[in-house]
Structures are given as C-alpha cells and as structure tokens.
Amino acid sequence: MNKVFPQGHHGKAAAGTKAVPGGAGDVPHSLPSFLVAHCGDPASWIYSDQKCDGTNNCGDCSDELSPVTVCAPCGPGWWHCSSTVFKYCDCIPRSLCRDRVQHCSDWSDEYACPGP
C-alpha cells in the first residue's frame, strides 16, 4: 500500500506520517474514490479519513485548511492558532498548551490557551 509522499512547501519529509515516498499522481485505482482525497498539489493524495484530522498529511496542510479542504473548527481537545509545528496546521492538541514550548506562531499556546 504505497502512498505518494506529498511534496509540501517545506520541502522536507515529515517523519512519522503514514505517507511513504511513491510515484507522482498514482492514485491507486484499486481503491474506491471515496476513500481517497486529493491534496492541494494534485500529484499528492491521502486517505479520506486523514482530512480534517488535525494532522498535516499533505505536507502543505491542504488536507486541513481551506480553500482545498473545509474543516469544522478545532474540536474541544484542540487549540486554534497558526501552528509552528510541521505536523499540525490550524489546530494543535491542547496537551501541548502550557508546556513551555512554543507551538503557535503567536505563542497563544503558552499564554492564551487555558491548558489541556
């Protein structure tokens, strides 16, 4: 089950994601189309359940952010900010709040977020 590794603007591999390097644009035709979602880069794809799961699967956050993907606001376990962490996009887990490490570009995870 090889997946195209999304080539995001960051230009580096995101370790620990489910994506692995593969050929460009080879969405597996063996999969039903409803199981597959495209990233902002049409050459990259993810599984549909990776959309709006808070994790940057596409590499450019197009699976989490408009205009490519429309997601509901961050859920109760998440804090909304512009994340500085490659793994996350618009929401970070509240468990990262108040841990003395910056995860939001505006530091709101350390100063505004009430905590986990």
Residue 11 CB neighbours (<10 A):
7
Q: Among residues 63, 91, 96, 104, which is the contact residue for Ca ion, using CB under 5 A? A: 63
- 24 near 41, Cβ under 8 Å? no
Minimum Å gap between C-beta 100 and Ca ion is: 27
If one asks whether residue 68 binds Ca ion (CB under 5 A), the answer comes out as no
Closest CA to 18 of 1, 35, 32: 1
If one asks whether residue 44 binds Ca ion (CB under 5 A), the answer comes out as no
Cis amide leading into 28 (omega within 30): no
Q: Which stretch binds Ca ion (CB under 5 A): 19-27, 46-54, 93-101, 104-112?
A: 46-54
Minimum Å gap between C-beta 114 and Ca ion is: 25
Residues that bind Ca ion (CB under 5 A): 50, 53, 55, 57, 63
